[in-house]
């Protein structure tokens, strides 16, 4: 039994999945591109967070 959904709900659902895949592939791409720099960035980011919290 498929619940009745409006077209707007389907659009939101599709957009949501597209957004997740987009972020996932962008992250994969940048991890390959700047693998060493990413570690430095993450360390700096955590240092930055520690200043505020």
Instruction: Sketch the domain layout of the chain as residue ranges.
Output: 7-52
- What is the mean pLDDT of the segment spanning 13-38? 80
Tokens coding 45: 């980011």
Asked if the model's pLDDT at residue 15 lies above 80, the reply is: yes
**Rounded to whole angstroms, how far apart are CA atoms 23 and 28?**
9
Stated pTM of the model? 0.39
With beta carbons less than 8 A apart as the criterion, state whether 38 and 31 touch: yes
Residue-averaged pLDDT of the chain: 77
**For residue 53, with 0-12 CB atoms within 10 Å meaning exposed, 13-18 middle and 19 or more buried, which class applies?**
exposed
Residue 34 vs residue 51, higher pLDDT: 51
């Amino acid at each position: 039994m498929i619940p009745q959904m409006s077209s707007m709900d389907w659009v939101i659902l599709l957009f949501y999945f597209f957004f997740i895949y987009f972020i996932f592939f962008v992250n994969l791409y940048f991890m390959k591109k700047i693998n060493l720099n990413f570690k430095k960035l993450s360390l700096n980011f955590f240092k930055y967070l520690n200043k505020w919290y």
